[in-house]
Structure 1
Amino acid sequence: MPPSKKSPLDSINSSSISSKRKLQDQPSSSRNPSIANPSTTAALTISPSSSKRLKTSHSGGNPQKAADMSKLLARSQSKPIDRIDLTGRGNSNFQPHTGAKRLVIKNLRTVPHTDKQIYYTNIWNEIDSAITSVFNKDKAAPAYHPLSRKVEDICRRGRASDLASHLKDRCKAYLEKELLPVIEKNAGSSGVEALGAVHQYWTEWNDKSSLLRSIFSFLDQTYLLHTKDCIRLEEQGIQLFRHAVFTKGKASGGSSLGEKIVLGICDLVKYDRLADQEHFDAGLLKQSIAMFHIFGIYGKLFEPMFLNLSRKYFESFVRGQTNSSLKDYIHLCDRLLAREALRCDTYNFDSTTKRALLDSAHKTLIDERSSVLLDPTGVSKLIEANEILSLKALYQLLALSKIQQNLKKPFESHIKSFGSAIVRDVDHIDSMVQRLLELKRSLDIIIRDGFDKDEKFSYSLRDAFGNFINDRQNTSAWGTNNSKVGEMIAKYMDLLLRSGLKAVPRSLTSDAKDRDAAEKQGQASTGDEDAELDRQLEHALELFRFIEGKDVFEAFYKKDLARRLLMARSASQDAERSMLAKLKSECGFTFTHNLEQMFKDQELARDEMISYKQSLSNTSKTTLDLQVSVLSLAAWPTYPKVPVNIPSEVSRHLEKYEAHYKRKHTGRKLEWKHALSHSVVVANFKKGKKELLVSAFQAIVLVLFNDIGPKTEGKPESLSYVDIQTATGLVDAELQRTLQSLACTKLKILHKHPKGRDVNPTDTFTVNTAFTDPKFRIKINQIQLKETTEDNKETHERVYQDRQYETQAAIVRIMKSRKTMTHQNLMAEVINQTKARGAVEPAEIKKNLEKLIEKEYIERGEGATYVYVS
């Protein structure tokens, strides 16, 4: 086959087959030792002019060799041919490990060296012209995409270093000699104008730099990426622009252009702080901060200057608020800090800048002004005005500097001052507990909503309340040695247990948060009235916990409880027993022993009456329903005996009951307390029958009018004051308040002549036969005598005496167990054991020690010691 008709592929395949056959015909010992190395299996020589048709060389057109070649080709057509895929795209059957193969291709035409030099020179010129077009933003510039292929050719020729240096020099020259003068010209006189000009031309340069990176992408991704001392084009463009502006650039007046644009950003922040919307440009500020981050000069140039100017701004702000009130200063500081933090977040300030800025603000606005923020007078005004929002802002400001605990001192000072004023207020003694509860409730709300439920402030509140409640100076204002607060708490609880929620002022009613919290804890439903009453009693009990001397509370609570039980005036028996359980849990069994005995006496009295009525049912029947409560004298308060003439029928029943009781309980004596009794009287009026719930004294007076008939029968139709007093035997005080309750109130059962609010010995009384009321059973309240100063003082004196006996008992008990003690140790032990019942002064303890020495319970030992006398 002639050579001109062979394809390049046929030539390659024929040569490879011939070479293979020759290798196979050789003995194994004479084969090339390089067969084992796959890298030496073939040798291929290709001229640069790869686009030309490949030709194979034959030995001078020898006919014999041509005939051999024809036979070889015919044989290759009958057997599979091992083809070598030089393109690498197909599935090659080339097996390098089967043996060494040698492929020689000759007669390839090459390009002359002079033609290549001209070619690369033209490419270089095109690239340089393209750079100029990019700088000048030439719209008629050539297509940039083919240029990237030419850049690749230059880089592959080994001139990547020269090309990189040339590009850098062109960019540097353009920035410093062409663009920088334009920027300086348009910089203006102010920093904001200079900043705007720099940002404008930086945006343009960034676009040009991006276009250059696309043209020189091969250079950027190969040579610059893998060369240690070179930087990539993006970073190079940033460095060159930064060097031109911040190193070479000059502003008007000879100052540095870089410093001027940094001041421009600071000026924008200043305009924002002053709310100068005319000069403030939010977009420019945000873009400038991003530009400084790109330049890498944010932390080096901008941040120090910004923080320094900000510190001066905070100082000037503080100087401007010298005459402001604490409330105004708190809110202004809070608003300023919020705006500073928001600005940092909105305009992408660095987190370290924000932290340093706020730290500087905290130091200037809070730390250095802590004496103003913690001023007791200012804080007290905020608490008194219940400025929860201001107090919350104050707490949060102090928390920013971690000095919020310093607020406890003015907080406690306010509590002690206002609490002492309430306790000493003699003119408003009846509202003492209500005002204390209102004070505590307002403080609890402040802690809950203003101080973030900080437990340390709750502890401070309890300490402050305990301090002023037990302060001797506050107690001395009432002329007693005991706590007046304990007495008033007992009376307030009596009011709640008698009247229920009607006695609770609106200011003390639980709000939605309190009710929800109670409901979540499983205490009670938000709409349960009994639960609300229980919560109010719990609030009063919280005040009770602050009292050191609880014996005064016990005495008055016992007195009021007895009246409620005997007069059936409790609003809720469940509330009574719940309160008793709370006191027992708080103070122990000994404190509530007598109170529990009072409830037991009531139960035993009911059982006793059932037994008495059963005994009467076997003998006779009567229309009078007698109810008697037998009370143990030790558990109940002592009551004065008031003389009164009991109606004969009632007296006979009392005698029967007394006889019945003494038959069952020998050795016991009954003493009747008619002043504590009450009755149900059936009255017939013109408009119908009514049942009147009255006291025993009221019933005795009303029964007298049964003996008065019509005037026509010759009997008087009225009774005089003297007649009533003679018939009842009541003293003036009791008779006057009894007649006043029947004739001078809204429900007038009797008519008084002459009319008036006061009862005089010259008055006369008649039955109001025209009395009417929609209810069938009507309660006529007895006018209660107000507790006199003498009665109150007597109760306090009795408590004081009991405290002396308890102190002496504690001394004997301690000495009996220790036998010998020093004076100081004995004093400390006595105070510790008696503080739960009542605070005892050291001077009182010494007096009791002397009494016990006189009674020979103890004696003095050597030195300052005491010895127990067994």
Structure 2
Amino acid sequence: MKPPASVPTPTAPPADRKRKRVTRQPSSEEAAKQRTLQSLFTVQQKPHSIPTPTSPSSKRHRTDVPPPSTPPRALSRAAMYSFASRSPLATGSNGVVDLTNGSPPVTPQTRRTSGSLKSRTGINPHTGARKLVVKNLKQNSTWDSKAYLEKIWGQLDAALTIIFKDGNEGFSKEDLYRGVENVCRQDGARTLFDRLEGRCRQHVEQDMRQPMLEKAGLDNVSVLKAVLAEWFRWKEQMVTIRAIFFFLDRSYLLPSTKPTILELTPQLFREIVFSHESLKSTIVNGACDLVASERIRKTSVDQSLFKQAVEMFHELQVYTSSFEPRFLGTTQQYVAQWSDVMIAEKSVPEYVMISEQFIAAELARCEDYALDASTRRDLLALLEDHLVVRKDTDLTEYEPLAALLDRSALPEITALYGLLNRRRLGNKLRPAFEKWVDETGTSVVFGKEEDMVTNLLSLKRRLDLVWKSAFLRDETLGHALRETFEIFMNKTKKGEATWGTDNTKVGEMIAKYVDQLLRGGAKAIPDVLTMRRASSINAPPAGVLLPTAAQAAVEENNDDDDLDEDSEISMQLDQVLDLFRFVHGKAVFEAFYKKDLARRLLMARSASADAERSMLTRLKTECGSGFTQNLEQMFKDVELAREEMQSYKQRLEDRIGYEKGKAIDLSVNILSAAAWPTYPDIPVVIPANVKKAIDDFELHYKSKHNGPEAEVNRTLQSLACAKLRPLTKHPRSRDVHPTDTFSLNPDFTHPKYRIKINQVQLKETREENKETHIRVAEDRNFECQAAVVRILKSRKTIGHQELISETIKATMGRGVLGVADIKRNIERLIEKDYMEREEGNMYSYIA
């Protein structure tokens, strides 16, 4: 018999209850009984029973059975050991209270008897140890859940047999579903799932894998087809099975760690069929063979078969682990061999074209068959590595690129750069590009002088278009283009064309081309350079489609077809200025441009005064105000001369007796000697009437422009009485008097002073051209010496090589001499005691 939950003990009466207490000493027999009961209570009391409150104010814990407490001493022995003969509940022979018989009816007699007993004994008849037993009132069922599970499983097993044979009749899905639900509700879900899993595993092993193993000796594609057929058959079967076991799937499998039926479907097929050592590699190779067949035979792959294979790999969760590595591996082997053969058999443009087509086809396959993004990324990296990176040496050789540039094959150049730039290797074209530009430009510079500028402008336009459209404004190739242009345009060669000097011929020819434009206007522009007539030059060949960037560039160049003459001249001047920026020896350009400008201004041969001013503004912006100071003075002199002639003609009209038709149309220019070029004196016999008109104008000019006498005296004094005396004063004295006379000093010479007497010449002669070149060469020598002195003054001591380098940098803007010429100028400065040599190939400045 189980021990009672707790043993109740008599409780002390409440402190506020007034009760008469009877006190007597217990006998020895009663004391023994008391000790026996206490020991019994101690044995039967549980260790976790709730302790009795120590005071009336302490809180009492409520339980089904009152907690035991120490009997109060105030109770009498009769009250402590006297019990009612019967309790309201029936008590058996073993002292167990039976609650199943119900409580006896309470009658007034019973209530009286109970009350009298209570009053007589003074205790509660329910106090003391009692064991309560509650019996189930529900009748025991005869239901056997195990037998029911076996019955339902028998039905399910029979249905599974039919389903595995692709049958749909002979069972009721609804009844089977209800049976599964009932079994799950009777805690049979685990057993039911274990049996279902075992039955499915048995079917996959025996009915599916075994027939496929017998076909393992066939070709890869045939095995793949057989596996796909069984896979789709297995999925259809599991759809029906899941519908029957849906309650099991939702109520038991989903919240547990076991796989759901949807997860069990690929899991069993992957573990039993796909992962088998005789089938795994064959299945994956079958899918790869489909792609290989398309690449080799150039035929379309069986789209449905390959797509089904990819879907199966995804559903079996073997795409990343099994298919993708094998697919990339076979692709790498094929591409490595294919690229080696193509680069050897095909030309570079052909190789570029078929490589782009191959890459496009491979990426299209990824899109068509829903291959993973990781596959597309790795495949593209693989293709670019074999087709571009490992073939960059062959793709960037000089001969293929030179052939494309020679015929201005813009689409092919664009495709070549695009293929290389897939891996940011477009800049590797720089060496071959620089070499072609240098060789082509050098041949132009040392070619026919008449076509030099035209050919340079045409070459510059072609290369700019290649850089913008084909090279997509690549920064590295842009630097290469500018630097190479600067190199070949400043190449010099002593010869007859430059009269044995180191002057660059390009500066002279650019100045003459500008003179041609400003004299002839738009009609003087060569056909190959006019925007209206050059559109056909930049247009692609018939049947060739340019890429988007290239087509945009051509359209950009052709948008100016409707330009007027002034705008076209302005555009040509901009292009000429692009060439001018590359020229180091700008002194040659300045000398020839100044001479040609003087001729245009004095002979009124300029086609457009606005174009003249525009060119002057461009030069001032490019080279600074010091470069154009004399040129601006020339324009001012011509403008002042024009105003002076208008004033003179107005005076003639106002004279009495002036006949307009008989007057000579005289035009006189008063020029500043320092700003204009120098010309040799040419004796001319002037007719009397012309002489009279000239004298008349001279009187008119003197009458308007006579200065304060003090100004003339100061000027004469500076020329005749200073340290340098180009004039001779008679008599000699430091002051100028009205009676003094002055004459030209024929013996006056000075290395830094030059007396210029200017006259206009209609056409440039060989002698004049020679004199210009020689004068520019002399000026460059003086500039070189001045630069050396400036460097020495700032550095005090400097080495030979460093001095040469610094001198080249300082004179680059006006024109650099050769190293031998620089050395000769250094020797001259040593002879003039501006500098001296020191040990260790050093130079020092002499203050």
| TM-score, structure 1 as length reference | 0.69
The counterpart of 1:356, out of the listed 378, 398, 414, is 378
Please say if 1:378 is aligned against 2:400. Answer: yes
Matched residue type, 2:389: D
Structure 2 residue 566 is matched with structure 1 residue 566: no
- 2:143 is aligned to 113
**C-alpha contact (below 8 Å) 2:468/2:553 kept by paired residues:** no
Q: How does 1:176-325 map to 2 (within 5 A)?
A: 176-183=205-212, 189-228=218-257, 230-248=258-276, 256-277=278-299, 280-321=301-342, 322-325=344-347
State the distance in 2 between where 1:393 and 1:193 align.
41
Deviation at 1:139, TM superposition (A): 2.9
Contact 2:501–2:777, Cα closer than 8 Å, also in 1: no
Separation in structure 2 between the aligned mates of residue 589 and residue 269 of structure 1, nearest angstrom = 71
CA–CA distance in 2 between the matches of 1:517 and 1:497? Answer: 26
- 1:797 match: 774
Amino acid at match of 1:587: C
Structure-1 residue corresponding to 2:428: 406
**CA positional deviation for 1:552:** 0.9
Q: CA deviation at 1:295?
A: 1.4
Q: Which residue of 1 aligns with 2:700?
A: 660
Partner of 1:329: 351
Structure 1 residue 477 displacement after superposition: 8.0
In 2, the alpha carbon distance for the partners of 1:197 and 1:403 equals 47
Q: Specify the code of the residue in structure 2 equivalent to 1:628.
A: V
Count of aligned pairs = 660
Q: Which residue of 1 aligns with 2:474?
A: 454
Seen in structure 2, the aligned counterparts of structure 1 residues 370 and 59 have a Cα distance that, compared at 3 Å, is closer
Written as runs of structure 1 = structure 2, the 5 A alignment for 1:349-748 is 349-425=371-447, 428-472=448-492, 480-509=501-530, 527=563, 529-620=565-656, 621-623=658-660, 624=663, 625-642=665-682, 645-665=685-705
Which whole-Å deviations, capped at 9, do the CAs of 1:112-163 have from their partners, x for residues lacking one?
134x444333222222222222212223142323423322222232222221
- Secondary structure at the aligned position of 2:584 is classed as coil
Aligned to 1:162: 191
| Map of 2:34 onto structure 1 | none
String of CA shifts for 1:305-341, please: whole Å, max 9, x gaps: 2222212211221232213111111111111112112
Instruction: Pick closer, same or farther for the CA change 1:64–1:822 going to 2, 3 Å.
Output: same
Q: In structure 2, how many angstroms separate the alpha carbons of the residues matched to 1:270 and 1:459?
A: 45
Distance 2:189 2:496 in 1: 101
Find the counterpart in structure 1 of residue 86 from structure 2: none
Aligned to 1:17: none
CA–CA separation in structure 2 for the residues paired with 1:595 and 1:862: 47
RMSD, aligned α-carbons? 3.8
- Cα distance in 2 for partners of 1:816, 1:33 equals 115
Closer, same or farther in 2 for the Cα pair 1:406/1:175, shift >3 Å?
same
Displacement of 1:297 in angstroms is: 1.9
TM-fit CA distance, 1:503: 3.2
Note if 1:833 corresponds to 2:810. Answer: yes
1:106 shift after superposition? 7.7
* Other structure's SS at 2:254 match: helix
Counterparts of 2:463 and 2:633, CA distance in 1:
38
Instruction: Provide, for residues 62-83 of structure 1, a one-character-per-residue CA deviation record: whole Å limited to 9, x for no partner.
Output: 8989xxxxxxxxxxxxxxxxxx
Alpha-carbon shift at residue 377 of structure 1 (Å): 0.9
Structure whose alpha-carbon radius of gyration is higher: 2
Q: CA deviation at 1:576?
A: 1.6
Q: Structure 1: which 5+ residue stretches go unaligned?
A: 1-28, 36-56, 66-103, 250-255, 670-782
Map of 1:341 onto structure 2: 363
Q: Contact between 1:487 and 1:556, CA under 8 Å: does it hold in 2?
A: yes
Structure 2: how far apart are the matches of 1:301 and 1:496? Answer: 73
Distance change (3 Å), C-alpha of 1:505 and 1:646: same
> Do the aligned partners of residues 154 and 789 (structure 1) sit closer, same or farther apart at CA in structure 2, a change above 3 Å counting?
farther
Once the two structures are TM-superposed, the CA of residue 415 in structure 1 deviates from its matched residue by: 0.5
CA contact (8 A) 1:482 1:552 kept: yes
Distance apart, 1:517 and its partner CA:
7.3
The answer (yes or no) to whether the contact 1:515–1:526 under 8 Å persists in 2 is: no
Q: Secondary structure of the residue that 2:450 maps to in structure 1?
A: helix
Cα deviations by residue, 1:216-268 (Å, 9 ceiling, x for unpaired)? 2232234333433x32222221121123323447xxxxxx2322221211111
> How far off is 1:471 after superposition?
2.4
**CA separation of 1:261 and 1:824: change in aligned 2, threshold 3 A:** closer
Q: Distance in 2 between matches of 1:515 and 1:858?
A: 58
- Do 2:335 and 2:383's aligned partners in 1 also have CA atoms closer than 8 Å? yes
Q: Give the CA deviation at 1:366.
A: 1.8
> 2:71 — aligned with what?
none
CA distance in 2, matches of 1:328, 1:810: 56
Cα deviation, residue 467, structure 1 = 1.2
* Residues in 1 aligned to 2:181 and 2:208: alpha-carbon distance in whole angstroms: 29
Secondary structure (helix, strand or coil) at the match of 2:631 reads helix
User: Residue 352 and residue 507 in structure 1: after superposition, are their counterparts in 2 closer, same or farther (change >3 A)?
Assistant: farther
Distance (whole Å) between structure 2 residues aligned to residue 615 and residue 513 of structure 1: 62
CA distance in structure 2 between the aligned counterparts of 1:827 and 1:231, rounded to whole angstroms: 86
- In structure 2, distance between residues paired with 1:405 and 1:188: 53
* 1:828 to 1:106, Cα distance in 2 relative to 1, 3 A: closer
Q: Map residues 58-73 of structure 1 onto 2, 5 A cutoff.
A: none
Report the CA distance between 1:531 and its aligned residue.
3.5
- Partner-residue secondary structure (3-state), 1:430: coil
Segment of structure 1 superposing worse, 538-547 or 318-327: 318-327
Q: Secondary structure at the match of 2:700?
A: helix
Distance 2:514 2:460 in 1: 17
Provide, for residues 773-810 of structure 1, a one-character-per-residue CA deviation record: whole Å limited to 9, x for no partner: xxxxxxxxxx986x555543332222111211222333
Could you say which structure has the greater relative contact order, defined with CA pairs below 8 angstroms and 6 or more residues apart? 2
Q: Is the partner of 1:429 in helix, strand or coil?
A: coil
Query: Within 5 A, what are the aligned runs for 1:841-856?
Result: 841-856=818-833
2:806 is the counterpart of 1:806: no
Shift of 1:601: 0.9
3-state secondary structure, aligned to 2:259: coil
- Do the aligned residues in 2 keep the contact of 1:831 with 1:839 (CA within 8 Å)? yes
Q: How far has the Cα of 1:577 moved from its partner? A: 1.5
TM-score by length of 2: 0.71
Which residue identity lines up with residue 659 of structure 1 in the other structure?
L
Q: SS at 1:508's partner residue?
A: coil
Q: Over residues 450-488 of structure 1, what are the superposed CA-to-partner deviations in whole Å (9 max), with x where a residue is unaligned?
A: 112112211110111111112245989865411111111
- The 5 A counterparts of 1:744-783 are none
Does the Cα contact within 8 Å between 1:423 and 1:474 map onto a contact in 2?
Answer: no
Task: State whether residues 497 and 505 of structure 2, in contact with CA within 8 Å, keep that contact through their aligned partners in structure 1.
Answer: no
